[in-house]
Copies of this chain bind each other. A is one copy, B any other.
């Protein structure tokens, strides 16, 4: 299943070292004037080779639209797009034909599909997330027409963590550094750590935090399409994501009801909560407050150090990765988290049309 969404739907295609990656967006409202520069900007935020903390694979990643747009506006018909793969150094993977790389998808894909595509992970490559960024960038623009603003940022790399909550930060500073952390000092420490890690042929994990403001009240469905469950699913499907928490998250487990409850109050006929442990979602439905959540990413599995593993004949072997790769996936994951959030919110916005 390579389709995501209920009304606003992305069908994604492509492999890391195939001809192209891309997708088809279905259910996009008609008559929306698109800002193509903003779409390309988002792709550039995800692009490999963008800085010293990312992989050095070089790709132009220029998106080309094939359908669904006429005179700069959406037509209501499917929007197909693609990005050609240029820098297909499959030679990086020459020694991989028969190896299952530890903590990669090689073994599981082989077991599922009965074949081994050794070209950089094939469909399991993070390159595939490019399609999500395009669909998310369009969703973002439509949401902006409703006033919705989505901002993700790096809040942790290894043991270096932001101590501020999102409301204590200036989120407009996120893009001012290459790790996408809105606190410049912490950002520098994160960059240093990633540089160290890269030098050692190692990798490191981290956390992305995300905030959506001005989300209208009423998005989400009562039972199985709870908004936070769908947001969780969306970001957990990003490569290397391991954990998700909404609002108070895991810390709520230690709290008492009288600490955790968010009191309502009314101000100029707008109902708000004094605290926001709920993370903007109650009973699976947005309550008009800021939606915020955190996503943990594991360290990238490709490391230079020699590792023990197994080949397709079930032999125990040793293995050292070559291949260019990210020392830390988190800075490039920031726009992907935003994209998935935008897709979910727009989808639920479109689902939520009241009847009469």
Contact = CB atoms under 8 A, between A and B. Distances in A.
Nearest to A231: B236
A264 B309 contact: yes
Contacts of A107: 217, 264, 271, 282, 287
Interface residues of A, number: 146
Nearest to A270: B314
B242 A236 contact: no
Nearest to A314: B266
A255 interface: yes
B158 A253 contact: yes
A95 interface: no
A211 interface: no
A244 B218 contact: no
B224 A2 contact: yes
A53 interface: no
B205 A254 contact: yes
A182 interface: no
| Total identical chains | 4
Contacts of A166: none
B24 A13 contact: yes
Interface stretch (A39-47, A55-63, A68-76): A68-76
Given A1-B224, A18-B67, A297-B253, A218 B111 contact: yes
A226 interface: yes
Contact of A256 (B115, B158, B236, B241): B158
Interface in A167-226: 197, 202-207, 217-218, 220-226
A205 B204 CA distance: 31
A135 to B, nearest CB: 12
A26 B14 contact: no
A283 B355 CA distance: 26
A327 B113 CA distance: 46
Nearest to A158: B254
Contact of A13 (B78, B252, B282, B307): B78
Contact of A26 (B3, B279, B283): B3
Given A14-B67, A112-B76, A285-B112, A236 B243 contact: no
A30 B113 contact: yes
A70 B115 contact: yes
Contacts of A12: 78, 223-224
Nearest to A14: B67
B77 A222 contact: yes
B243 A22 contact: no
Closest 8 pairs between A and B when the two form their complex, measured CB to CB = A105-B283, A29-B355, A203-B257, A243-B245, A233-B233, A108-B285, A13-B80, A252-B298
Interface of A: 1-4, 6, 9, 11-15, 18-24, 26-27, 29-32, 65-68, 70, 73, 75-80, 82, 100, 102-105, 107-109, 111-115, 117, 122-124, 128, 142, 145, 156, 158-159, 197, 202-207, 217-218, 220-226, 228-230, 232-234, 236-237, 241-250, 252-266, 269, 271, 273-274, 277-279, 281-288, 296-303, 305, 307-310, 314-316, 350, 352-356
21 contacts: A1-B27, A13-B67, A13-B77, A18-B66, A18-B67, A30-B113, A30-B115, A70-B115, A70-B117, A73-B115, A107-B264, A108-B283, A111-B288, A123-B223, A158-B253, A158-B254, A204-B255, A230-B233, A236-B244, A244-B245, A269-B314
